[in-house]
Amino acid sequence: MNDQIVEFSNLLRRNGIRVSPSENMEALRALELVGVGDPHGFRTALRATLVKRFADMRLFEELFELFFLGFGKAVAESDRRLMAQLGLNPKEFQEWLEQVRSLLEHRKDHLSPIARALLAGDMGQVERLLREAAATEDGEAVERRVSVGVYSHRVAVAIQIDRVEQETADFLAWAESRGAAPEILERLARYLDERLKALSQLLRELAEQELRKSGQTPPGRERLEYLMQKSFSYYTAEDIRRMNEVVTQLARRFKNLLSLRRKKADRGRFDVKDTLRKNLQYGGVPFEIQLDRRKREKPQVIVLCDISDSVLNASRFMLQFVYSLQELYSKVRSFVFVSEVGEVTQLFEENEIQTAVEMALKGEVIDVYCHSNFGRAFDMFYREHFSAVTSKTTFLVIGDGRNNYNSPNDWVLKEIQQKAKQLIWLNPESRLTWGFGDSEMARYVPHCDFVEECRNIEQLYKVIDRIAA
Amino acid sequence: MFRSIDDVIRRLGEQKYICNKNVATVVYLACAMQKPVLVEGPAGVGKTELGKVLANSLGLELIRLQCYEGLDEGKALYEWEYAKQLLYTQILKDKVGEILQGSQSLKQAVDRIAKEDDVFFSEKFLLPRPLLRALVAEKSTVLLVDEVDKSDTEFEAFLLEVLSDFQISVPEIGTLRAKHLPLVILTSNNSREMSDALKRRCLHLYLDFPEPQREMEIIKLKVPGVGEKLVEEVAYLLQRLRKLDLKKKPSISETLDWVKALTLLNMKRLDDQLVQETLSTLMKYEGDIRKAEEELKRYLADRKTKLHAAAVESDKDLLH
Ligand SMILES: Nc1ncnc2c1ncn2[C@@H]1O[C@H](COP(=O)(O)OP(=O)(O)O)[C@@H](O)[C@H]1O
Ligand SMILES: [Mg+2]
């Protein structure tokens, strides 16, 4: 048991779930307490001691099934499908299996071990044979990081799947030659067909399991990592939906980092003047002490996000980020612009994320069918919302700075920088192209405390760390 | 303490808390292993309630520390009871005078007073806040650290220290060590990820929205006199609603509010009109309500075409 748990923890680690040695020990202790006779308790005990992040729970369930339950689930599913197809209840199905087995008995000399086990529905034996075949393949294939398809194909070759198919066909022909009734034959044909399907499904399952055991990332994760580096501008709608989780994490991280920066909680200092004043009523005896409690500073954020066509995908993503930020934080105000500026704070508050972002992009608050005009947007922001900027404000501009040769109005940024705590500009365009054509970045950059290229999530992560450092 | 996992289910049940085997197992382990539990999950699924009923069912005192942004050690651990200290110096004025008798200089006077420091900085003048109370209690307690995700990261670090050593040092007094380990329940709505270090200290429990069976039990328990048919319909409709893409999914507490409203209106089964009018007890966002109304229409249509039974089956499947 001990070894098995240690090995299982290793499997979790290889798949990116952090398990510490002390947690490992605790898992063992917990298992002693629930006892091995309780499968449900067994699973719960491992979950409670080894998996501490919600995001990892699903993966834990998958790995648990893979490690402790083997093919059990796939086999059960295949049997259920068979019963439905043949229109049999479990008892009748069992009887049918008996019939098939007795037929197989007559043909045992013409069937390879795996075909016999498969057709008899002896799936445990099938699993053992498959794993044996895989064991001989194993090392090399895994080393070279082959795909599930390639791996399962190799094992299929190793067990001579062609032969299994041939033998199955022969078996059916033989049954026919023996004069079986047409309806029995038809049922048998369906039965055999489903068994062959189950075999190829098991092969895939096996491949997935083996590859994953060796620590190759499951497909879902791989995709996330890939998305981390993919430029926003190439995002598909599907990508954007998938990013939800990551975006929320990012926003949380941002919030945490900002709050970390705040001074460590200060219990306040003795305030002589206030104390004396307050205690005049007690004849100057200081009954109530006055501490000079400095106000805790709540960081405030104002976001100004470009949603013009040139950066549409990036803004869709960044708006998701802004939305999550706003959800975590009471003091965020969000604005979007193409040429005129509109506030979306309330729109974000009242709608769920996808809808809210789409509404913002589709021109719910501003005209989006016009050309980018940063200068005009800045000027308008200055006239209508400048009073929202305070000395505690972190001001975030998101956009490519492409101004269609309009007047840049960079003085607004200067004003904002002077009044705000910090002014940050994130640009979804490659730094190499800044300042060329109608890009006004060269004029805007000097007024920012911090400017960064931000074309994918990985960069955004780094940016967030830098901002808060 | 609990004798077994089933014992947990039974005794929490006596406190009108319906828990599944999952929850019971973690609670059982936490008690037996004397480890804190970090309970995470959406709002209103019974995290706080779990801490409360746990104390009741074990007959232990419940000490609750509600976290919020800006909560600091003073509020969580102890403060000096300044007014009381002062009162004593006033009452003991003469005594103080005696001590100071014959001091040659201000410095000498201060030194003499300083010698008596520990009279005033003793446990007598210590105002214990929840954490300290749980540590020095004469009997074991249940310490409920509620909504720990709302606290700042610095406070989390401090909390971790306390939970690791179960002792704290008060500079003026010395080290105070827990006489009995409290049973600690931390709850979090997941508004931020807690640190790995804290999580390693704890067992983890994810509380999710309840399965339909459990939700029905809870409703019947908490809304006496509610009709059987209505409970069933409500529970299944909620399963469907929670699958929608909502800004905020309705929780158990909102379900209960809603059923109470429906019962007051003397509803026996869900029907279009009244349900629409009461949906605002279940959801608070305009957009969510709109989606819920559409889903309700579909649900009623399904019910008409007798798809109901089938839907129930598939719901069950999805949950297991
Ligand atoms: N398992 C349960 N059994 C009985 N009542 C429950 C259960 N879970 C939740 N409730 C009810 O829901 C309400 C909200 O639960 P609460 O603990 O405040 O949620 P949370 O702390 O998770 O936000 C409780 O007052 C309680 O009445
Ligand atoms: Mg709560």
A170's tokens: 């022969």
Answer whether residue B58 shows pLDDT above 90. yes
Domains parsed from chain A with CATH numbers: 53-218 (no CATH), 245-255+297-467 (3.40.50.410), 269-294 (no CATH)
Neighbours of A24 (CB within 10 A): 19
| pLDDT on residue B216 | 95
Q: What's the CA-to-centroid distance between B147 and ligand 2, angstroms?
A: 6
Q: How far is B121 from chain A (nearest CA, A)?
A: 16
pLDDT: which is higher, B173 or A237? B173
- Per the CB < 8 Å rule, is A44 touching B26? yes
Q: Cα–Cα distance between B92 and B115 in angstroms, integer? A: 16
* Ligand 1: nearest atom to the Cα of B49: 17
**B17 pocket-lining for ligand 1 (C-beta < 6 Å):** yes
In chain A, which residues have their Cβ closer than 8 Å to the Cβ of B192?
A: 252, 255-256, 328
Enclosing H/E stretch for A423: strand A422-427
Buried b (16+ CB within 10 A) or exposed e, A202-241: bbbbbbbbbbbbeebebeeeeeeeebeebebeebeeebbe
| pLDDT on residue A38 | 84
Q: Which residues pair with B80 in a beta bridge?
A: B126
Q: Which of B155, B200, B247 sits opposite A351 (nearest CB)?
A: B247
DSSP letter (8 states) at residue A332: E
B287's tokens: 């957009």
Q: Which of A46-50, A187-191, B79-83, B259-263 has the lowest mean pLDDT?
A: B79-83
Measure the N-to-C terminal CA separation of chain A; round to a whole number of Å.
46
| B286 interface with A at CB cutoff 8 Å | yes
Query: Of all protein residues, whose CA lies closest to atom 20 belonging to ligand 1?
Result: B44
Q: How far is A306 from chain B (nearest CA, A)?
A: 25
Q: Which residues pair with B141 in a beta bridge?
A: B61
In chain B, which residues have their Cβ closer than 8 Å to the Cβ of A18?
A: 196
Q: Cα–Cα distance between A132 and A130 in angstroms, integer? A: 5
In chain B, which residues have their Cβ closer than 8 Å to the Cβ of A249?
A: 193
Cα-flanking dihedrals φ and ψ of residue A336, to 5°? -125, 160
**B218 pocket-lining for ligand 1 (C-beta < 6 Å):** yes
pLDDT: which is higher, A318 or B171? A318
User: What count of CB pairs under 8 Å joins A to B?
Assistant: 106
Q: Distance from CA of residue B229 to its chain's centroid? A: 32
Most ligand 1 atoms within 8 A of CB, residue of B253, B255, B282 to mutate: B253
Q: Output the CA torsion sign for A353, A354, A355, A358.
A: positive
What average pLDDT does this structure show over B302-314? 64
Q: What's the CA-to-centroid distance between B142 and ligand 1, angstroms?
A: 17
Place of tokens 């339909």: B212
Query: Of all protein residues, whose CA lies closest to atom 15 belonging to ligand 1?
Result: B46
Greatest CA separation for chain B:
100
Cα separations in angstroms, B125 against B73, B118, B120, B172: 17, 10, 7, 11
Cα-flanking dihedrals φ and ψ of residue B127, to 5°? -100, 100
Answer whether residue B307 shows pLDDT above 60. no
DSSP letter (8 states) at residue B192: S
Q: Which residues pair with A397 in a beta bridge?
A: A304, A425
Q: How far is B87 from chain A (nearest CA, A)?
A: 8
Query: Of all protein residues, whose CA lies closest to atom 10 belonging to ligand 1?
Result: B46
Identify the closest residue of chain A to B289 by CA–CA distance: A351
Q: How far is B227 from chain A (nearest CA, A)?
A: 33
Residue A327, judged by CB atoms within 10 A of its CB (0-12, 13-18, 19+), counts as middle
DSSP letter (8 states) at residue A65: I
User: Residue A402 in 3-state DSSP?
Assistant: strand
Q: Which of A147-156, B187-196, B262-271 has the lowest mean pLDDT?
A: A147-156
Q: Render each residue's pLDDT in chain A as its tens digit; 469 residues.
A: 677 888 888 878 877 788 999 999 999 999 999 987 788 999 999 999 999 988 888 888 878 877 777 676 677 778 888 888 888 888 898 899 999 999 999 888 899 999 999 998 888 788 888 888 887 765 555 555 567 777 788 888 888 888 998 999 899 889 888 888 888 888 888 898 888 888 888 888 888 777 776 655 544 444 455 566 677 777 776 677 667 767 777 777 776 666 665 533 344 556 666 766 776 666 666 666 666 555 445 568 899 999 988 788 788 888 888 888 787 777 889 999 999 999 999 999 888 888 898 899 888 889 888 888 999 999 999 999 999 999 889 899 999 999 888 899 999 999 999 999 899 999 988 777 787 778 899 999 999 998 988 888 878 877 776 666 5
Answer whether residue B79 shows pLDDT above 50. yes
Report B:175-204 residues touching A (Cβ under 8 A): 190-193, 196, 199-200, 202-204
Q: H/E/C letters for each residue in A57-91?
A: HHHHHHHHHHHHHCCHHHHHHHHHHHHHHHCCCHH
